[in-house]
Chains A and B, each alone.
Chain A
């Protein structure tokens, strides 16, 4: 099964073999946190040819590796200890697994002989992570380590990418081995590469050429496959409008007149109307999430659907398709483009222009002197001239960041789409800054999510990363509050973070010294970062511009209108006719 390089006679410990293998696999930055069961591996790190970045919580370390991977397209690598170290990675792994992000996560484990004895810091890591990873390994012998590392990197990056866990018992780290890193990986049962048949290509070209009202619907798979230019080429050649998923933002330039921008629950009216009226939906690298389709029976009901994806299990999972192609999106587009005839679709594009004009993405200020949260996103866009590498947390601000920033390039919008993990933003932005030191990284967080992983801010300070952390503070868990307002009779249980406005039975003293905790400015300063609070709408853009320009880790807390909601909204399970605009 393996092509071994020349066997070296020199023996090293399993820990050393692991570190050497990670280096061979191309690791440039290793994120992680030490502990008893990985001390042997950490003992090898001072001589490793890659950088180690100490997070402050294992969840943060995995999100950093994730942000690094999303920003660069390379594999994010992470190392944590056994037991609680491993269990703390679960949310991070699930986040990467849902969004198809390639990670390799090494966890320490108690010695093989102690597994199952309730040893100190023992957890069944392969059992726990099975459902949140693409694959995992329990290493039984130091001799297997180089092969397993190579396999893990292969699995993480081939087919639909995802996180792979390598659980390494302590005695395996200490054992000696002369095994070397394999030159090639060939797995017996895993052959995810698949390409379109010529009949499928012919059918695809025919459908595109015959369509009168086509729409391209581009997802994260377009970015993963590096196919953004090919999507643009197809769209321009046949004048096909392009809508994207949240994960697909940046796969098509939103400043292009053919862009319909974001589709789905909080997408543009034009995107959702176009999908509702199209006769051919060309779905590229998407999985038809419930956040996008709304009511399935009514989704794209006039359309033939073509679905191209590298994951066979995605095709036909949620929507019926006329043509399903399991293949790399870029390969398909490169092959099909020469067979697609130039077209105008003038009438269809005129209809779309009318929808865009009638229902633009817009908001109204609610008070003259209060910042609207959407304004914060526009200010980031203006202050960075659209060049920011924008990383979001999860909630209302995430949707505003999707809606009010002009997304133009792949890998410049990083967000936890599938899992919706609060706490993703700060560490993922830090990971992204390690991967892309040339970019202006801006993290946008809500006040809720920022508190979940705030401790990671010290990492940005220690490494002097030029990251701007914008906390949009509406003193509530905005998306929860919005759903309670719209669908749960305005009973704001658990969603108000200020003292004012809390329900009586949450039993807070009304004469507390503070109405709102924490003080984000003081908190950021305590972590060593620069920090500013902005309340005046007129000063907003200047403050963000200054923070971005400073090149230092800086937190900007924008106090915003707490009652602003995310619109438009197509409530879950509703057809497009159910869209709410205000």
Chain B
């Protein structure tokens, strides 16, 4: 980054810090599938202006740092949860196929568990609890209409080939450890060479 940033006039905050949030961005939840035919796993949330932007950003944030085969993003308004935290804003009418995601224990990540047909999100949650063993014992269950889940296209490149794991905690730790090892090895070599030279001369 260049020094030009130091001269940048960022101005004053236009709104007080306790103001109500403004804007037209919508929260989306993102799931990634790490292996073909494997379940989609909760990856995180992001905010986007629409479905297209959500998928673009989902690929950038959650796809590119680890190899994965598919990505789903779901508008929060299309999600219903068993704890009542989320409810579908415009529920589909009639019988609909819902995808079920389960959270085994509080704090665990949500996993894709099953598909279920129901006439409402509440019915889908209820049916999932009754029919699917993972959902029956789960701490929390989410359902979303299958046709409202945005999916990446088959064959799309959604992870990086260049190693940028230094941006993640695990990559950074590995890199620092390697540097320390290199440093210590170099020091030992210098000491050895000194001793070796002493014997020679």
The answer to whether A and B interact is no
Name A residues whose Cβ lies closer than 8 Å to a Cβ of B. none
Name B residues whose Cβ lies closer than 8 Å to a Cβ of A. none
